A = this chain, B = another copy of it.
């Protein structure tokens, strides 16, 4: 618990030397007030690492960011919401490059040091005249207090912004890690799901940071699902400007471990925020798989249950339908002993065992009902056949999910 300190109202501007802004640039159609362009800028060139969507229709900004991050250096990130710039052909690619170029020009940076990200509608070309003005506006609004505005500007159907920052002690030097993310729909584990930007003033080897990011994303963002749809625009990027002045983290030692745990905390917290704010969600639903033979199988089982539409509607319906949970365990394609599986439903300190050794138990329906009436519900699946565990985060499937995504009907 003392490993790091959570910073009240922390965000991407909490680490030293990071400015940010979020402005309304007119990218979101029919909306003249919502912010839709965000900038994050480091005072110094930063070591950078990223992970990206595995969707074959990776959007133009993903392609450009992958290109520009190759040398391991970035100094700024420009992000817009309201238009994903995905499936937009050659013009889309050139537009994403131009977003970086305009940003670089206005901030006196190298174009290749600017990462680009977009989120919103697929298949519509950006209006670059509007975008150019919006970026200039964002550049002139940059401040060391702009982190919250930036987090707001990347929201689409999110109902709240997702931000966090922590402080970790590296060899006596306080090092800070801040993060922001957006989620909501088209959310499904398959590599760096969703948009996520992390800043840190840590001085750390680029390769080591990249390894940490990849490993942690696999256990956090890639274990979140809202609707099983892997987006074309997913991206998680970390910028480390070294301004904390710590001795460089170069090896897998205690200091690396501290940085790793801090980064893990930030990414896990953002993952949970995304799950909780999934489109139409009324509950955060967590699946904990315990004591599995392999970690891979534990993940398969957790993902299978968190994705099941029948489990998700049962959670919405506050129905202790463990049969749907065990059916999803059964079709997960994991290897396990069916006759050993126990299932518990939990919320906070309340817990009830609903199935044992792969079959149902008589349980207290009133208590089950009370657990399921809470805003945060957990299913614990004990495989009793090993030492590996996995956690997945998601939400219930509600009328509002359908409403948000079938809007012509609402």
Contact = CB atoms under 8 A, between A and B. Distances in A.
Contacts of A355: 87, 123
Contact of A55 (B88, B185, B331): B331
A204 interface: no
A152 B66 CA distance: 57
B399 A402 contact: yes
A308 B229 contact: yes
Interface string A170-187: 000000000000000110
Nearest to A91: B359
Interface stretch (A26-34, A321-329, A374-382): A321-329
Max count, chain B CB within 10 A of own CB: residue among A188, A190, A360, A402: A402
Nearest to A338: B56
Contacts of A406: 313-314, 316-317, 319, 396-398
Interface in A47-61: 54-58
Contacts of A396: 406
Nearest to A359: B89
A313 B405 contact: yes
A224 to B, nearest CB: 15
User: How many chain copies does the complex carry?
Assistant: 2
A327 B57 contact: yes
Interface in A306-352: 307-310, 313-314, 316-319, 322-324, 326-331, 336, 338
Nearest to A339: B89
A399 B314 CA distance: 14
Nearest to A282: B409
Contacts of A313: 401-402, 405-406
Contact of A185 (B232, B310, B319): B310
A88 B322 CA distance: 13
Given A87-B360, A308-B229, A331-B190, A123 B409 contact: no
A86 interface: yes
Contact of A407 (B86, B92, B122, B319): B319
B122 A331 contact: no
A227 interface: yes
A391 interface: no
Contact of A57 (B188, B232, B338): B338
A72 interface: no
A123 B322 CA distance: 8
Interface residues of A, number: 64
Given A57-B327, A88-B359, A408-B318, A309 B227 contact: yes
A231 interface: yes
Contacts of A89: 357-359
A23 B313 CA distance: 31
Contact of A229 (B122, B309, B338, B403): B309
A327 B402 contact: no
A124 interface: yes
Max count, chain B CB within 10 A of own CB: residue among A186, A231, A309, A355: A309
B87 A314 contact: no
Given A123-B360, A124-B360, A310-B185, A87 B402 contact: no
Contacts of A56: 329-331, 336, 338
Interface in A181-199: 185-186, 188, 190
Contacts of A314: 405-406
> Can you list the 3 inter-chain pairs with the closest CB atoms, starting with the nearest?
A122-B323, A317-B406, A313-B405
Given A87-B326, A316-B406, A396-B406, 14 more contacts: A55-B327, A84-B323, A122-B323, A123-B322, A123-B355, A123-B359, A186-B327, A228-B228, A229-B327, A229-B328, A231-B327, A314-B405, A397-B402, A399-B399
11 contacts: A56-B336, A56-B338, A57-B358, A89-B358, A123-B326, A185-B310, A186-B327, A232-B327, A316-B402, A317-B405, A398-B406
